[in-house]
Amino acid sequence: MKPKKIEKDTESRILDAAKRIFIRKGLDGARMQEIADEAGINKALLHYYFRSKEKLFLTIFREELRNFFPRLFPVLLSKDLTPEMKIRHFVENYIDLFIKEPFLPAFVLREVNRNPSIVAQFIGEAGIEPEKLRNLLDVFATELNLTMNEMLHLMVTIVSACIFPFAGKPIIKQVLFDDNEGDYQKFLNHRKTYVADFVIHSLKGRLLK
């Protein structure tokens, strides 16, 4: 039986290696042998820890959700921040997550279409109860002077504006930036300000008090 510390270190090495491979190759293009080579282990050991590429990816996805939502909720519920500050925080954290893990958006879209229940399952595992989420949106809608229907449209609009530049990277990078990775990354960083400004401007004078 392997000592727990060695097992934990090996698992961390595998997860870090898998992230690098997924970033370069995407989920469909990645191979377990490549991940094993990147982690400096043999393929048999990789399968000992993670039986399949999908299981490995799901582990990464689950951990990212667990890290993301607990950071987000206290800010949106904070009484010390203005609605504008909360919108900026939400957009910045959402885009930062995908800059850090750019393979996640395409995976989420794929899994939602292939197996819709899996995202709900992971959100539950991350400690996000549906009732808690609805209450959060209700409180935020009141702050923004929105109906719940308007709040739902707003959240979907914000999330879509954050996700699409990553999910559509092959088109955006090739067509708009002549396949220049540096220019594409600058564009992503600028999105943090642009999307928040766009949303806030659309609300000011009509909905935000």
List, as one string, the DSSP characters of the chain: ---HHHHHHHHHHHHHHHHHHHHHHHHHH--HHHHHHHHTS-HHHHHHH-SSHHHHHHHHHHHHHHHHHHHHHHHHH-SSS-HHHHHHHHHHHHHHHHHHSTTHHHHHHHHHHH-THHHHHHHHHTT--HHHHHHHHHHHHHHHT--HHHHHHHHHHHHHHHHHHHHTHHHIIIIIHTT-HHHHHHHHHHHHHHHHHHHHHHHBTTTB-
pLDDT at 67 over 70: no
Q: What tokens does 38 get? A: 């990147």
Candidates 27, 70, 77, 74; CA nearest to 52 is 27
pLDDT at 126 over 50: yes
Write out pLDDT tens, residues 16-60: 999 888 877 777 788 999 999 999 999 999 999 998 888 888 888
Residue ranges, comma separated, of all CATH 1.10.10.60 domains in the chain are 1-51
CB contact burial 40-62 (16+ within 10 A = b; e otherwise): ebeeeebeebbeebeebbbbbbb
**14 falls in which pLDDT band (50, 70, 90)?**
very high
CATH for the stretch 60-203: 1.10.357
CA-CA distance, 41 to 30, in Å (whole number)? 16
Instruction: Specify the residue for token string 């929105």.
Output: 146
Mean pLDDT on 176-204:
95
Q: Whole-model pTM?
A: 0.74
CATH for the stretch 1-51: 1.10.10.60
**131 falls in which pLDDT band (50, 70, 90)?**
confident
Candidates 13, 191, 21, 10; CA nearest to 102 is 21
Q: Which is more confidently placed, 167 or 107? A: 167
Residue ranges, comma separated, of all CATH 1.10.357 domains in the chain are 60-203
